[in-house]
Amino acid sequence: MQQVGVEPDALMPADVDETPLRGEKPRDVARRLARDKAEATRRMAERQDELTSAFILAADTVVAVGRRVLPKAETVEEAAQCLRLVSGRGHRVYSAVHLITPQGKHRQRIVETRVRFKNLSQDEIESYLASGEWRGKAGGYAIQGLAGAFAVKLVGSYTAVVGLPLYETVNLLVGEGYPVRLSWLNAA
> Domain-by-domain residue ranges, the chain?
2-187
Eight-state DSSP code of residue 138: B
Residue 188 has pLDDT above 70, yes or no: no
Is the pLDDT at 161 greater than 70? The verdict is yes
Which residue in 15, 17, 60, 123 is the catalytic one? 60
Q: Report, as an integer, the average pLDDT of 54-69.
A: 95
Q: How far apart are CA 98 and CA 186, in angstroms?
A: 28
- Sign of the CA dihedral 45, 46, 49, 50? positive
* Catalytic site includes residue 60: yes
Q: What is the pLDDT of residue 1?
A: 66
Please calculate the CA angle 39-100-54 and round it to the nearest 5 degrees. Answer: 100
Using 50, 70 and 90 to split pLDDT, how confident is the model at 180?
confident
Task: Please answer whether residues 106 and 168 qualify as being in contact, where contact means their C-beta atoms are separated by less than 8 angstroms.
Answer: no
Question: Which amino acid is it at 105?
Answer: K
pLDDT above 60 for 184: no
Three-state SS for 2-43 is HHHCCCCCCCCCCCCCCCCCCCCCHHHHHHHHHHHHHHHHHH
Amino acid at 88: G
pLDDT for 59 equals: 96
At residue 183 the predicted structure's pLDDT band, cuts being 50, 70 and 90, is low
Q: Who's near 38: CB < 8 A, 6+ residues apart?
A: 14, 56, 57, 58, 98, 99, 100, 106
Rounded distance between C-alpha atoms, residue 125 and residue 90, angstroms? 17
* Secondary structure (3-state) at 114: strand
Q: Is the pLDDT of residue 185 over 60?
A: no
The pLDDT value given to residue 186: 53
CB 70 within 8 A of CB 140: yes
CATH-assigned architecture of domain 2-187? Alpha-Beta Complex (3.90)
Residue-wise pLDDT tens digits, 70-115: 999 999 999 999 999 999 999 999 999 999 999 999 999 999 999 9
**% of the chain residues with pLDDT over 70:** 94
pLDDT tens per residue, range 34-51 = 999 999 999 998 888 888
pLDDT, average across residues 160-172? 93
Grouping H, G, I as helix, E, B as strand and the rest as coil, residue 161 is helix
Tell me the percentage of the chain whose pLDDT exceeds 90.
79
Compute the distance between CA of residue 57 and CA of residue 35 in angstroms, rounded to an integer: 9
